[in-house]
Structure 1
Amino acid sequence: MKKKKILVISQYFYPEQFRINDICETWVQKGYEVTVLTGIPNYPQGDFFNGYGYTKNRRQMHQGIDIIRIPIIPRKRSSIMLGLNYISYVISGKLWSLFNKKEFDYVFIYEVSPITQAIPAVSIAKRLKIPCYIYVMDLWPENFQIITGINNTFVIGMINKIVDYIYKNCTKIFTASKSFKKNIEERGIDSNKIYFWPQYAEDFYQPAQEKSPKIKQDGKINLTFAGNIGEAQGLDILPAIAEKVKSEKMNVRFNIIGNGRYKTTLIAEIQGKKVDDMFRFIDPVPPEEVPSILNASEFSLITLKKDEILSMTIPAKLQSSMASGAAIFLIADGEAQEIVKESGAGYYNHPDDINGIMADLRKITKKNNDHINQMKQNARKFYEKNFDKKYLLNKMDEFLTK
């Protein structure tokens, strides 16, 4: 049987850490021929990774995946550069589509921000007369407004037209949350082509046997955040919480692992409140290390800024944490709260409810290990029932082969 050829459009790809890496690797293992059109890696720190650039590693084979890197402007650390980064991918992608000679059976768009990356994908699908699928994990223009703070009517109106054009010209739309599905339906998009397809966690996210030495074992209760440190994560609440925790002499520590545009500001706010001793900042680690880090922590700390659109999001680290058998300390609204509540995997609070957060922190300082271990078991059981990788990818196979 002839291999089906999938062109994946994703502005981010290996060595940047996104779940599309694993999806593509699994597709190769299943017998698909996978080509990825991506940018030069620069997320999240904003500069090109070592060994990559306009003249370096523009074409790669990785785990059987043909990676084509089109030139883009690095995102750096300003909104202007981020905008240029987004635009440059669209321009380069459109140019590539004009000169591409390869044939494909499907186009698959991995849509974390920006949705504009789907523009060249739609063009390619139209020219080759093939199905175009999009996996939506960020809603636009709402996510654009959160990231940039821009609410200009003309700008938002233009983005809305782009979004409608993309959705209408995609054969199928997959969403990472049920709320996203409802939001897209309310735009007037045919509900029959929209499907809820939640994220899974890669195979290495398993309950670890060992405890990472990067998390101190000194009797303190460790709440560990691992991931991108951006404004959308809502970590700005932590200095105020830490101030109260310190005043009550609670035996709690916050570990922050990763990089991002908000990290410098967060450190300054922590220093301003003189709560440095309540925090440990750890450089980014390979995702494969996360399970042992979470095993060395009492709770996986997952936070999102208070926002109507973010409340529709199920952050990917929730699946990763539950797959790793971690108890959850969630500071977020919406679907993520419903999952933690239904699973019995931990504590959950609204992002602006400092009193509720403090009440739960007091509880965890009084609970014994058996209580926390039960939450960890609940997390893993819920993951296996609802977010199993094999089941979800088999479901995607059905869409690809119909």
Structure 2
Amino acid sequence: MRILMVSQHYWPEPFNVSEICEALVERGHSVTVLTGTPNYPEGDIYSGYGNGKNAFQQRNGVEIVRVPLVPRKHDPVHRVLNYYSFARSGEKTQQTLPSNFDAVVSFQTSPIMQARPAIAFAERTGVPLLHYVVDIWPECLLAGGIKKGSAVYQHYAKVSSDIYGKADRLAVTSPLFVDYLSNLLGCQVDAAFLPQYAEEGFFAPFAGSAPEGYDPSRFNVTFAGNVGAAQSVQTLVRAAALLKNDAHFAFHVVGSGSELSACVKLAEELGAGNVTFHGRHDIADMPAYYAASDAMAATFSSDEMLAWTLPRKVQSYMAAGRPIVAAIGGETERVVNDAQCGVCCGAEDAEGLADAVRRLAQLPFEHRIEMGARGREYCMANYTKRSFIDTLERELEQLKGTKHGM
């Protein structure tokens, strides 16, 4: 098949849409990506991409078409400009793309407006549109402080309903999304279940040395990934502060994001010297951090929508065979409990998280190893890259030959 992928973010930004496109190429498909100028997560245009440089690239068989956008920086104004500038630039650029694709895929993280170029292309050419819902809108706005029922929320509820309603096929990362979308659209939605997968590199045993800052004599707990408002990494910092007088415990944050500086400041204010901030590292470096950890932490802010979501980091934690401590309910709690691979407490519950860490540390080493092994087995049965690509390929094959809107 000839596939057009529309995603605001792509390599060299840390999004797995790049792996997905390359996997489709490996299976013999032709893939073109319409994406933005890389600037995530630091908020500045990457070196070598300013002023229209590298607007057209090829990587591992994938044709990449980049459109200009306003970098997200670190303030709300730039973030909004970033969101809309990609949508508008993408809508303009899609007009120059050939129409002989078999399907167009909207890989929708945040914001939902990034789907507009895919819709415009489908409407112009008649090519069927698969909309993959990774971040569900308008609920994602709640994690950013927007109040439910506010004018802003109601506006994006209409925008989201319009965008979701124009897809020929929807795919979701969580089965709970189906009920939400059905309520939003006012009709029963039939969507494909396409859960995110664990990176293959985490399944392989790691035999290297531990990263700097990891003391094997301590119980090391690591949070890995984006440090944004939704992730509520402050909960981990507060839990660490509750355990700061016990030298047995060490906490690590590996990643960057909009809330990183706030987390560093909070650790200083609480005297949580047992928290080490390692910054962002390439995905290839991450197995070393996982292997050096006794437990991996998953935190989310207290929000109904986020409870419906299974963060991709959870699959990676499971693939690496590490026990999980999670301050989050909903889908993550269900999966962790089903797999019997960790200990959970409520979202934003720092005391509960500190207690979960204590309880996990008190278990015999062999029990923690068994816990991690159960998580890995569960992940292999449910969240592999191969099963993801199989499902995506099957959905695209079913769309091939149909017309958008028919």
Does residue 162 in structure 1 map to residue 150 in structure 2?
A: no
- Normalising to structure 2: TM-score of the pair? 0.94
The match for 2:291 is 295
Query: Hey, what's the Cα distance between the residues in 2 that align with 1:349 and 1:389?
Result: 29
Contact 2:237 2:275 in 1 (8 A): no
The match for 2:75 is 78
Residues 127 and 242 (structure 1), Cα distance of their counterparts in 2 relative to 1, 3 Å cut: same
Gaps of 5+ in 1: none
The match for 1:108 is 105
Query: Hey, what's the Cα distance between the residues in 2 that align with 1:65 and 1:190?
Result: 37
Query: Hey, what's the Cα distance between the residues in 1 that align with 2:23 and 2:304?
Result: 34
Query: Hey, what's the Cα distance between the residues in 2 that align with 1:153 and 1:351?
Result: 24
From 55, 59, 64, the equivalent of 1:62 is 59
Whichever residue aligns with residue 241 of structure 1, its letter is: A
Whichever residue aligns with residue 392 of structure 1, its letter is: F
Contact 1:181 1:196 in 2 (8 A): no
Does residue 188 in structure 1 map to residue 169 in structure 2?
A: no
RMSD over equivalenced CA pairs, Å: 1.7
Identity of aligned residues (%): 30
Does residue 390 in structure 1 map to residue 390 in structure 2?
A: no
- Deviation, structure 1 residue 47: 0.5
- For residues 82-104 of structure 1, the C-alpha deviation after alignment (integer angstroms, 9 at most, x for no partner) is 00000100110111123334531
Structure 1 SS opposite 2:185:
coil
Residues 301 and 212 (structure 1), Cα distance of their counterparts in 2 relative to 1, 3 Å cut: farther
Query: Hey, what's the Cα distance between the residues in 2 that align with 1:53 and 1:368?
Result: 53
Does residue 21 in structure 1 map to residue 18 in structure 2?
A: yes
The match for 1:130 is 127
Structure 2 SS opposite 1:285:
coil
The match for 1:240 is 238
Contact 2:222 2:253 in 1 (8 A): yes
Deviates more, 1:369-378 or 1:159-168: 159-168
Deviates more, 1:348-357 or 1:186-195: 186-195
Query: Hey, what's the Cα distance between the residues in 2 that align with 1:170 and 1:315?
Result: 24
Contact 1:250 1:365 in 2 (8 A): no
Whichever residue aligns with residue 222 of structure 1, its letter is: N
Q: Which has the higher contact order (CA 8 A, sep 6+)?
A: 2
Query: Hey, what's the Cα distance between the residues in 2 that align with 1:244 and 1:153?
Result: 36
Does residue 217 in structure 1 map to residue 228 in structure 2?
A: no
Does residue 331 in structure 1 map to residue 331 in structure 2?
A: no
- Deviation, structure 1 residue 205: 2.1
The match for 2:308 is 312
Query: Hey, what's the Cα distance between the residues in 2 that align with 1:25 and 1:190?
Result: 35
Query: Hey, what's the Cα distance between the residues in 2 that align with 1:211 and 1:391?
Result: 29
- For residues 170-224 of structure 1, the C-alpha deviation after alignment (integer angstroms, 9 at most, x for no partner) is 0110000111122111223654531221111232221423244215134111111
Query: Hey, what's the Cα distance between the residues in 2 that align with 1:401 and 1:242?
Result: 49
Residues 250 and 207 (structure 1), Cα distance of their counterparts in 2 relative to 1, 3 Å cut: farther
- Paired residues in the alignment total 397
The match for 2:92 is 95
Gaps of 5+ in 2: 399-406
The match for 1:198 is 195
Contact 2:222 2:297 in 1 (8 A): yes
Deviates more, 1:48-57 or 1:254-263: 48-57
- Deviation, structure 1 residue 123: 1.1
Query: Hey, what's the Cα distance between the residues in 1 that align with 2:321 and 2:12?
Result: 26
- Normalising to structure 1: TM-score of the pair? 0.94
Does residue 52 in structure 1 map to residue 49 in structure 2?
A: yes
Deviates more, 1:17-26 or 1:47-56: 47-56
Whichever residue aligns with residue 241 of structure 2, its letter is: E
Contact 1:171 1:193 in 2 (8 A): no
Does residue 268 in structure 1 map to residue 253 in structure 2?
A: no
- For residues 104-146 of structure 1, the C-alpha deviation after alignment (integer angstroms, 9 at most, x for no partner) is 1111011110010111211101111011001101111111232
